Structure 1
Amino acid sequence: MLKTLLIACSVMILTSPALAQVRLVTLDPGHFHAALVQKNMYAGVSPDVYVYAPEGPDLQMHLDRIKGYNTRADNPTRWQEIVYKGPDYLTNMLAGKKGNVVVMAGNNRIKTDYVRQAVGAGFNVLADKPMVINAAEFGKLKESFEVARQKNVLLYDIMTERYEITSMLQRAFSMQPALFGTLERGTPDNPAVTKESVHHFYKNVSGSILTRPAWFMDVAQQGEGIVDVTTHLVDLVQWACFPDQSLDYQKDIRLTSARRWTTDMTLSQFRAVTKLPAFPDYLKKDVVRDSMLQVYSNGEINYQLKGVHAKVSVIWAYKAPEGGGDTHYSIMRGTNANLVIRQGADQKFVPTLYIEPSDASPAGKTDLSVAVTNAVRALQTEFPGISVRKNATGWEVVTPESYREGHEAHFGRVMQKYLDFLKAGAMPAWEVPNMLAKYYTTTQALELAKKHD
């Protein structure tokens, strides 16, 4: 079946028709990511956006965000939101065919069904992660990619972290063999690749404290952390370690271990992020000691990808320390050098890439200095202005401030990349099998973690 799907992906590359004009449809927007893809206007995209959703606060918050973009003083957008609200919103969208690209970012419990029905109706789909949150639904996602091929439409997920500058540079430096050497194989106790991220329920987005829907704290609807944010980390492992290569989830992935744990949230904290006075009934299953909500938002996966040991973990805290925010740590261990991203207090919570000699490196720092200089020179065509400075453990990669766009801007980058795919009528052949590999990893890891509770 997988071989058939891989062949089908190649056929899709040749046959998907290019779109003359993109007409966006927003389906049931429940997450602020649905609005972030509209933070800017795009060439070839109609300003008319058709929104289909049930009536309620999620829809209103989405429309308020779009209104904020339209009315801002600096470079305002010109979106015209044409809204249909009612219990039959999905049926109306599928029958109406007002647009040709559906954007989905909301309740993940029903997203996999949304994807399947949208591609079946002939819509292109740009979906926020995760597109599936449990192993039972993985087959439905795999079927959706096959239906997308049959319907000549493009199904793609929003992988913003590929556009974060230190992640891009870490990948680029790892492709400089004189500096990096080759990727270590690693062990379960000392993986070749480690990626860790810390996120926060209470956070500032687009200049104001984010109001989260209550269902965001319900893992039956949002998904556990091990299948949610880890999607980005697993994607980065695949993208950085095996660039532009198609992966076979049945052959290339082997889980070693997985675990999950909760973040505890008081009722007052819950009120601060949801603006609701009490826990809704569907969350009471997760409330202990009358007022403490326990959310399985944290997870860790140890696994092998084509024989390379990797570890990814995600942690959700309630609120970031003063001056801080979401953080990311990553290391790729090469035979000559390690490429390390740190984003702690020492970096003033700004992600920073370091090049450090490997413990097993046959080269000393003097020898690596030449390799570092040559690697920087080679990469300056793609990344003008980058440089390095020596420090006690190796080198810090210095990037111009213009590369520090911020997470919200990365949604525009993903949207533009997807628009390029639509214009060409094609995605790279590795994207579909690697999306399947990614979601297989996360959903199977959840199954494994539950077995070891």
Structure 2
Amino acid sequence: MKRNVFKWIGVAALVALYACGGSGQKEKKQESAFTGAAGEVKLLVLDPGHFHAGLVQKTMYKQISPDVHVFAPAGSDVQAYLAQVEGYNNRKENPTSWNEIVFTGSDFLQKMLAEKPGNVVVLAGNNQAKTEYISQSVGAGLNVLADKPMVISPQKFSELKAAFKKAEENGVLLYDIMTERYEVTTRLQKELSRLPDIFGELQKGTPDEPAVVEESVHHFYKLVSGKPVQRPAWFFDVEQQGEGLVDVGTHLVDLVQWNCFPNQALQPEDVQILKASHWSTQLTADEFEKVTGMPDFPSYLEKYMVENQLEVMANGEMTYQLKGVNVRVKVEWNYEAPEGGGDTHYSFMRGKLCDLVIRQGEEENYQPTLYVEAHADVDLGTFTGNLEKAVIQDMPITGLSLEKTGDRAWKVVIPDQYRVGHEAHFAQVTQKYLQYLVKGKLPSWEVPNMITKYYTTTEGLKKAREVE
């Protein structure tokens, strides 16, 4: 079996040091059905309808069998997924060697659950059915690696919560793919926020001036693996894809929890939604055809049509408190990025001594960039010395440097070898999940935090709809 080698191999040490699952405490070895042996993990790809399903297979893994069983209804969704994997198999550089064994039929879910030719279900597709797929899979004793979001409806949150309990009872691992934890600037922001001499303590902020802000801008028309992504028409139906707050918002809420309260189990009771809103992005018929390949809007989208344009309720913003810390999360979808640009992420954390800010705009050449901005009342000489020592000597990444951008501001300069890109993060998440399978458990905080995360997103959506 050939194994794909990405540029991100150079960050192996970083991934290990920043292991998202570690609690810092030595845990008792659990019995597991997995040993780490070659080919013991057998994937079941269920109803793939999003290109993230294919990205899990952009590289090979020693622990995963090359034989992948696919269960899906016949149609363009599964064909797009198969073409994506075939492209990885046939590329010139580091080709993969997946063998796709495909069943298409109306009883695809029942067929998978009855035969169970694998032990790990990969879910990335229509989100309307995803919570049910999760529940059915873990109920059948199958592990699940699911693309976000696991739930898009406030009414289905209790079903997801019950699925986690069912997974525990059946001894299987239910886990979502949180790629943003692996972005190098995000990791460094988290690391610096743990240093009292640099960040101090996380501030509480106010609802009008939150101490933590996470914002994301995405685009319907974009390139994936060097090719324009063709989205299914249902992607533009919020009843099937989900609104922005419960879709991309999942990543942002996850980063808030992961950054601010690392390795701590959070509960829904720790969350108070203060305010929320949502709004639409308009698509013309020509734009819709360009991104879907369909010359006409399907009938189920007619309810979103206003003056011959499709109104997609893809955007949302909410302010909430997490353990008393005021947080703002904002998701926006545009049709297409500016020339040379792409999806962008903005992240802000206010400490007692400084702000840690990730920007990804035109000034940063649309590359995530971490800034450290000292507060006016901080002794600049002492702070500068502490910052230089922390960044240049003490970080578990070599080659970092600082570039002055203002009297009290610096940019953290990161070597290119650590900038691996969004697509490579899917392999990093998968590798981490494989480690958890061998351990036979997730870190103790992961499940309560997933439950709290989806409580936050669904309650935020509920609040946004209440004020219409």
TM interval, short-chain normalised = over 0.9
Residue in structure 2 matched with residue 353 of structure 1 by the alignment = 370
Residue in structure 1 matched with residue 114 of structure 2 by the alignment = 95
What percent of counterpart residues are identical?
A: 55
Letter in 1 for 2:44: V
Among 277, 283, 296, the residue aligned to 1:278: 296
Looking at structure 1, the residues matched to 30 and 451 of structure 2 have their Cα atoms a distance apart, in angstroms, of: 20
For the pair 1:46 / 2:54, whether they are aligned, the reply is no
Which 5+ residue runs of structure 2 have no aligned equivalent?
1-26
Residue in structure 2 matched with residue 165 of structure 1 by the alignment = 184
For the 8 Å contact 2:29–2:439, the answer to whether it is kept is no
Among 306, 319, 322, the residue aligned to 2:336: 319
Shift of 1:90: 0.2
Looking at structure 2, the residues matched to 331 and 73 of structure 1 have their Cα atoms a distance apart, in angstroms, of: 41
Residue in structure 1 matched with residue 136 of structure 2 by the alignment = 117
Residue in structure 1 matched with residue 243 of structure 2 by the alignment = 224
**How many pairs are equivalent?**
438
Shift of 1:391: 1.8
For the 8 Å contact 1:185–1:192, the answer to whether it is kept is yes
Residue in structure 2 matched with residue 302 of structure 1 by the alignment = 319
For the pair 1:389 / 2:408, whether they are aligned, the reply is no
Shift of 1:12: 11
Q: TM-score, normalised by structure 2?
A: 0.92
For the 8 Å contact 2:30–2:439, the answer to whether it is kept is no
Looking at structure 1, the residues matched to 429 and 80 of structure 2 have their Cα atoms a distance apart, in angstroms, of: 22
Q: 1:12 to 1:119 in 2, by over 3 A?
A: farther
**What SS class does the counterpart of residue 177 from structure 1 fall into?**
coil
For the 8 Å contact 2:43–2:119, the answer to whether it is kept is yes
Cα deviation per residue 1:393-428 (whole Å; 9 max; x = unaligned)? 411101110111111001011101101101111210
Letter in 2 for 1:441: T
Among 91, 96, 105, the residue aligned to 1:72: 91
For the 8 Å contact 2:222–2:336, the answer to whether it is kept is yes
Letter in 1 for 2:402: V
Residue in structure 2 matched with residue 424 of structure 1 by the alignment = 439
Residue in structure 1 matched with residue 449 of structure 2 by the alignment = 434
Looking at structure 2, the residues matched to 288 and 152 of structure 1 have their Cα atoms a distance apart, in angstroms, of: 49
For the 8 Å contact 1:333–1:358, the answer to whether it is kept is no
Looking at structure 2, the residues matched to 12 and 279 of structure 1 have their Cα atoms a distance apart, in angstroms, of: 55
Residue in structure 1 matched with residue 384 of structure 2 by the alignment = 369
Cα deviation per residue 1:62-93 (whole Å; 9 max; x = unaligned)? 00000000000000000000000000000000
Letter in 2 for 1:372: L
Among 347, 351, 363, the residue aligned to 1:330: 347
For the 8 Å contact 1:16–1:153, the answer to whether it is kept is no
Among 414, 420, 443, the residue aligned to 1:399: 414
Residue in structure 1 matched with residue 175 of structure 2 by the alignment = 156
**Which structure shows the higher helix fraction?**
1
Residue in structure 2 matched with residue 29 of structure 1 by the alignment = 48
Looking at structure 2, the residues matched to 452 and 38 of structure 1 have their Cα atoms a distance apart, in angstroms, of: 42
For the 8 Å contact 2:113–2:137, the answer to whether it is kept is yes
**What SS class does the counterpart of residue 131 from structure 1 fall into?**
coil
**What SS class does the counterpart of residue 444 from structure 2 fall into?**
coil
Cα deviation per residue 1:105-143 (whole Å; 9 max; x = unaligned)? 000000000000000000000000000001110000000
For the 8 Å contact 1:200–1:318, the answer to whether it is kept is yes
Shift of 1:264: 0.5
For the pair 1:57 / 2:76, whether they are aligned, the reply is yes
- Across the aligned residues of Structure 1 and Structure 2, the Cα RMSD in angstroms comes to 1.3
Looking at structure 1, the residues matched to 29 and 153 of structure 2 have their Cα atoms a distance apart, in angstroms, of: 29
Residue in structure 2 matched with residue 259 of structure 1 by the alignment = 277
Looking at structure 1, the residues matched to 394 and 53 of structure 2 have their Cα atoms a distance apart, in angstroms, of: 34
Residue in structure 1 matched with residue 426 of structure 2 by the alignment = 411
Shift of 1:327: 0.5
**What SS class does the counterpart of residue 316 from structure 1 fall into?**
strand
Letter in 2 for 1:198: V
Residue in structure 2 matched with residue 242 of structure 1 by the alignment = 261
Cα deviation per residue 1:249-281 (whole Å; 9 max; x = unaligned)? 1x2100110100000000100000000010001
Cα deviation per residue 1:185-208 (whole Å; 9 max; x = unaligned)? 000011000011100000000111
For the 8 Å contact 1:225–1:296, the answer to whether it is kept is yes
For the 8 Å contact 1:50–1:81, the answer to whether it is kept is yes
For the 8 Å contact 1:13–1:428, the answer to whether it is kept is no
Letter in 2 for 1:246: A
Looking at structure 1, the residues matched to 309 and 29 of structure 2 have their Cα atoms a distance apart, in angstroms, of: 50
Cα deviation per residue 1:225-270 (whole Å; 9 max; x = unaligned)? 1110010000000000001100011x21001101000000001000
For the 8 Å contact 1:334–1:358, the answer to whether it is kept is no
Cα deviation per residue 1:265-320 (whole Å; 9 max; x = unaligned)? 0010000000001000100000111x200000000110000000000101000000
Shift of 1:38: 0.2
Q: 1:236 to 1:115 in 2, by over 3 A?
A: same
Looking at structure 1, the residues matched to 180 and 457 of structure 2 have their Cα atoms a distance apart, in angstroms, of: 17
Which 5+ residue runs of structure 1 have no aligned equivalent?
1-10
**What SS class does the counterpart of residue 167 from structure 1 fall into?**
helix
Looking at structure 1, the residues matched to 28 and 42 of structure 2 have their Cα atoms a distance apart, in angstroms, of: 21
Letter in 2 for 1:165: V
